Homo-oligomer: A and B are copies of this chain.
Amino acid sequence: LSTPICGVIPPLITPLTDGGTVDESSFEALISHQLDAGVSGLFVLGSSGEAAYLDDRTRERVVEVASTIVAGEVPLLVGALDSAPARVHQQVSWIDRHSVSGLVVTAPFYANPSVRETAEHFRSIAHATSLPVYAYDIPANVGRRLEAEMVVELLSEKTLAGIKDSSGSLAEFRIILDSLDADSDAAVLSGADVLADLALELGAHGLIPGLANIRPDLFVGLVRAHRDADDKAVQAHQRAITALAAIFKTGEAYGLGRHSSELGALKHFLHQRGVIATTQVSQPMTPLPEAGLRDLDRIHNALQARFERDLS
């Protein structure tokens, strides 16, 4: 890619059959749903893609299916999720067989690296591939933040092509953006839902928000409204997104783990609207109970009514 990735790049859920294999036709419908909404790229095998739960064969099938469907229409980022350089290299070895646009890589996890060792991790991975490498800052899963100063150094030395910040804090995000040279082609991307408008205002090049799985139109509309400096539309879109974020916590009220609650909400929403065929999540995640489904509907109906009023 000659230009850095930008716009809305949904971190896709992985549609599964009841048997737990990749559901190709649902995947096709999901990607159409996204492309129709005008997204600029797609990201598979991130946390929303339940990568931590899928074996390598299923992971590779995700990449194969997605890259075939996308067919170069938009950039396709792929999570190369594993605990240390040699294991990430192993992921890259099969990702490389497919037509993809970049790798998204976390700091070492399970391991207890120092900051210097974390930097070496990214250098080792970037050295071994010709694909652009994006750092994935997701402390809720990895257990620690990426240090802003280290990210700035890795972007500046071109080890990293960009970063996806899913930390929830915008202070370091701003420090990274402020550090870029005028001619930098680094892609600084935000995983924020509730703060998506602010990330754009800070200069984020793109958004990778979980809620874009179900309402990509809200994020595409937000990015467009922001570009057009249409404050009223920015507000209406962001208000709808913020209200929609409540669905992530639906399952927690029923004792589900955080991933089960979040992925359950996304999959049920897509299933109810006929985009995907099942609500299947990987073991050992717990399915969302019936009562939770009603909560989802209530949240969505309320925000949609308001959204339409806001825009009119």
Contact = CB atoms under 8 A, between A and B. Distances in A.
Interface of A: 20, 52-58, 81, 83-87, 89-90, 108-114, 116-121, 124, 140-143, 168-171, 174-175, 178, 192, 194-195, 198, 201-202, 239, 242, 255-260, 282-286
B282 A86 contact: yes
A52 B169 contact: no
A293 B292 CA distance: 33
Contact of A53 (B20, B81, B86, B143): B86
Nearest to A284: B120
A85 B141 contact: no
A102 to B, nearest CB: 20
B175 A284 contact: no
Given A84-B284, A120-B283, A114 B53 contact: no
A61 to B, nearest CB: 12
B178 A111 contact: no
Contacts of A142: 110
Contacts of A116: 255, 286
Q: How many copies does the complex hold?
A: 4
A284 B108 CA distance: 9
Contacts of A171: 168, 192, 194-195
Contact of A111 (B20, B52, B143): B52
Nearest to A86: B55
A284 B121 contact: yes
A236 to B, nearest CB: 13
A136 to B, nearest CB: 11
A249 B114 CA distance: 14
A52 B169 CA distance: 26
Contact of A175 (B89, B140, B194): B194
Contacts of A192: 171
